[in-house]
Chain A
Amino acid sequence: MLEHNRGAELAETTPFIKVRDVHFSRGSKLIFDGVDMDFQRGKVTAIMGPSGTGKTTLLKLIGGQLKPSSGSIEVDGQNVHQLKRKQLYQLRKKMGMLFQSGALLTDISVFDNVAFPLREHTTLPESMIRHLVLMKLNAVGLRGARYLMPAELSGGMARRVALARAIALDPMMIMYDEPFTGQDPISMGVLVRLIRLLNNALGLSSIVVSHDVKETCAIADYVYLVSAGKVMEHGSPEQLANSDSEWSQQFMQGMADGPVHFHYAAEDYAKDLLGIES
Chain B
Amino acid sequence: MLSYLQRLGAVSISMFERLGRGSLFFVNIVFSVPSVIVRPRLLIAQMHSVGVLSFSLIVISGLFVGMVLALQGFYTLSDFGAEGMLGVMVSASLIRELGPVVTALLFAGRAGSALTAEIGLMKATEQISGMEMMAVDPVKRIMAPRFLAGLISMPLLATIFSAVGIVGGYFIGVGLLGIDEGGFWAQMQAKIDFSEDVMNGLIKSVVFGWVVTWIAIFEGYDAIPTSEGVGRATTRTVVHSAFAILLLDFILTALMFGDI
- Which A residues have a C-beta under 8 Å from some C-beta of B? 60, 63, 65, 89-90, 92-93, 95, 97, 99, 101, 103-106, 116-117, 120-121, 165, 169
Contacts and interface: CB of A to CB of B under 8 A. Distances in A.
Contacts of B133: 63, 65, 92, 95, 97, 99
Interface stretch (B89-97, B121-129, B204-212): B121-129
A92 B127 contact: no
B237 to A, nearest CB: 20
Contacts of A103: 125-127, 129-130
Interface in B125-153: 125-127, 129-137, 141
Contacts of B135: 89-90, 92-93, 117, 120-121
Given A90-B135, A92-B135, A117-B134, A106 B125 contact: yes
A65 B131 CA distance: 11
A99 B136 contact: no
A92 B132 CA distance: 8
A165 B134 CA distance: 9
Contacts of A169: 134
Given A97-B130, A116-B134, 11 more contacts: A60-B129, A89-B137, A92-B132, A103-B130, A104-B127, A105-B130, A106-B127, A116-B136, A120-B134, A121-B136, A169-B134
A99 B132 CA distance: 12
Interface of B: 122, 125-127, 129-137, 141
**Residue among A63, A103, A104, A116 with most chain B CB within 10 A:** A103
Nearest to B130: A103
B125 A101 contact: yes
Contacts of A92: 132-135
Contacts of B127: 103-106
Contacts of A90: 135
30 contacts: A60-B129, A65-B129, A65-B132, A65-B133, A89-B135, A89-B137, A90-B135, A92-B132, A92-B134, A92-B135, A93-B135, A97-B130, A97-B133, A99-B126, A99-B129, A99-B130, A103-B125, A103-B126, A103-B129, A104-B130, A105-B130, A106-B125, A106-B127, A117-B136, A120-B134, A120-B135, A120-B136, A120-B141, A165-B134, A169-B134
Nearest to A168: B134
**Residue among A101, A104, A105 with most chain B CB within 10 A:** A105
A120 B156 CA distance: 31
A212 B63 CA distance: 63
A182 B141 CA distance: 31
A75 B134 CA distance: 16
A106 B131 CA distance: 12
A116 B133 CA distance: 13
A104 B141 CA distance: 15
B126 A101 contact: yes
A118 to B, nearest CB: 10
A208 to B, nearest CB: 16
B27 to A, nearest CB: 14
A66 to B, nearest CB: 10
A103 B125 CA distance: 6
A63 B126 CA distance: 14
